[in-house]
């Protein structure tokens, strides 16, 4: 049995809130990249994935926050730190494919 819907909603809201805070930080400062805000967003996504791993469905707000993330980041600014793009790709894989492509021991099923 998965987690309660209210807990899943709370975790998804945390992801959406962190994504919004990251977007605000991006817009507020064009000189330096808001890596700290991105890391908080990534942490919220990882926490969501970890706690909802047994669920078949992904919350709509989490899908909206993560879907196309790498492409959005590349378009938003000319210079995006490599670690941000790397982590964004990992987050997309975690949410949509169910595994972290850069972590040994967490390969997709069947490998």
What does pLDDT average to over the chain? 87
Angle subtended at Cα 101 by Cα 98 and Cα 103, rounded to the nearest 5 degrees: 100
What is the spatial distance between Cα 1 and Cα 88, in angstroms, rounded to a whole number? Answer: 29
Nearest to 46 by CA among 88, 82, 78: 88
Distances 97 to 54, 62, 67, 90 between C-alpha atoms, Å: 13, 14, 12, 10
Work out the pLDDT band at 78, boundaries 50, 70, 90: confident
- Tell me what pLDDT residue 4 has: 83
Q: What is the mean pLDDT of residues 69-77?
A: 92
Give residue limits of the domains in the chain: 5-97
Nearest to 43 by CA among 9, 64, 14, 81: 14
């Amino acid at each position: 049995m998965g987690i309660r819907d209210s807990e899943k909603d709370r975790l998804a809201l945390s992801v959406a809130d962190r994504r919004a805070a990251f977007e605000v930080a991006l817009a507020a400062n064009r000189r330096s990249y808001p890596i700290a805000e991105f890391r908080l967003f990534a942490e919220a996504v990882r926490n969501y994935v970890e706690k909802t791993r047994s669920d078949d469905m992904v919350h709509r707000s989490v899908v909206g926050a993560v879907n196309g993330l790498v492409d959005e980041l590349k378009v938003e600014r000319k210079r995006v730190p490599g670690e941000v793009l790397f982590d964004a790709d990992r987050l997309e894989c975690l949410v949509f494919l169910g595994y972290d492509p850069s972590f040994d021991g967490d390969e997709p099923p069947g490998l």
